[in-house]
């Protein structure tokens, strides 16, 4: 796990964008695993402005709320459509169908899509409780696509997007951790003090289902990009007068592999 601490959200967004763009340009056929939420919005804005050719790129999304139609403004299908899919010429785009009442059939359908489209790079955020995708604490690391009952912490965190708390969905289809771990490369981004405890637990704590993101330490090619606020509780940051700003705080329980696209001006981890 290669950890980069940068000064702010703007720098993080630029580095993540260039890393993803490097993967897009690296092969004739590319699959990107994409995330939703506030963390990747700046990245998607940069793609809307630059409009690279992505006619050779297939996308697979991590998750979708159960019970929200694709045209609902808070569905992840709508988010991806307005943020990215309506603006770029992707070859194919895939997202779970939140309106499919047959949970077993929908999970099997999406697993088949993932088996045929293993991401060359999977973009992840991290929840305040350490969830990745909608894999909440104590989710089995061996699960593939499944229905996840959302914790109250996650429901509360997402309530800001809805008019009333009662409108927030309580379950979702989500890519399982086993599928996430099959990506060739993983990029996790986190910004702000609200993510500091989760980042500390992921980087410095044990690998445990109580902290879903901790499993990433077992993947051979993970880059973690965080701003100073999200890194503020890390020992490496607290013990460094420079705060590790703008560079790498070292490898954490990972291999020596680094992303093919690098991290741009952020430098490499030795």
Please give the positions annotated as active site.
63, 129, 131, 136
DSSP string spanning the chain? Answer: -EEEEESSHHHHHHHHHHHHHHHHTT-SSEEEEE--SSTTHHHHHHHHHH----TTEEEEESEEETT--TTSTTSHHHHHIIIIITTS--SEEE---TT-S-HHHHHHHHHHHHHH---SEEEE---TTS-BTTB-TT--TT--SEEEEPPHHHHHHHGGGSSSGGGS-SEEEE--HHHHTTSS-EEEEE-SGGGHHHHHHHHHS--BTTBGGGGGGGSSSEEEEEETTTTTT-HHHHT-TTTTTTEEEEE-SS-S---TTTTGGG----
| 133 phi-psi bin (left φ>0, alpha ψ -120 to 50, beta other) | left
User: How many whole angstroms separate alpha carbon 237 and alpha carbon 139?
Assistant: 30
Q: Give the list of residues 6+ apart from residue 132 with CB closer than 8 angstroms, or none.
A: 124, 125, 126, 177, 180, 188, 212, 213, 216
Radius of gyration of the chain (CA): 17
């Amino acid at each position: 796990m290669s950890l980069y601490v940068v000064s702010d959200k703007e720098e993080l967004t630029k580095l993540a964008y260039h890393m993803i763009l490097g993967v897009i340009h690296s092969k004739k056929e590319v699959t990107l695993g994409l995330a939703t939420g506030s963390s990747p919005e700046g990245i998607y804005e940069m793609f809307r402005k630059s409009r690279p050719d992505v006619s050779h790129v297939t996308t697979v999304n991590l998750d979708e709320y159960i019970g929200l139609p694709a045209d609902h403004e808070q569905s992840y299908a709508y988010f991806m459509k307005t943020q990215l899919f309506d603006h770029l010429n992707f070859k194919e785009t895939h997202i779970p169908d939140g309106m499919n009442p047959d949970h077993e059939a929908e999970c099997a359908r999406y697993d088949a899509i993932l088996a045929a489209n293993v991401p060359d790079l999977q973009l992840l955020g991290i929840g305040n409780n350490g969830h990745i995708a909608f894999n909440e604490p104590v989710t089995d690391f061996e699960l593939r696509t499944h229905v996840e009952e959302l914790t109250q912490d996650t429901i509360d965190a997402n309530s800001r997007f809805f008019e009333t708390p009662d409108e927030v969905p309580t379950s979702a289809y989500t890519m399982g951790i086993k599928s996430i771990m099959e990506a060739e490369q993983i990029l996790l981004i986190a910004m702000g003090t609200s993510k500091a405890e989760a980042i500390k637990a992921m980087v410095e704590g044990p690998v445990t289902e109580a902290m879903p993101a901790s499993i990433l330490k077992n993947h051979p090619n993970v880059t973690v990009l965080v701003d100073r606020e999200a890194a503020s509780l890390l020992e490496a940051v607290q013990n460094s007068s420079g705060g590790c700003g703008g560079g790498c705080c070292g490898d954490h329980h990972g291999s020596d592999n680094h992303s093919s696209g690098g991290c741009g001006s952020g430098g490499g981890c030795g």
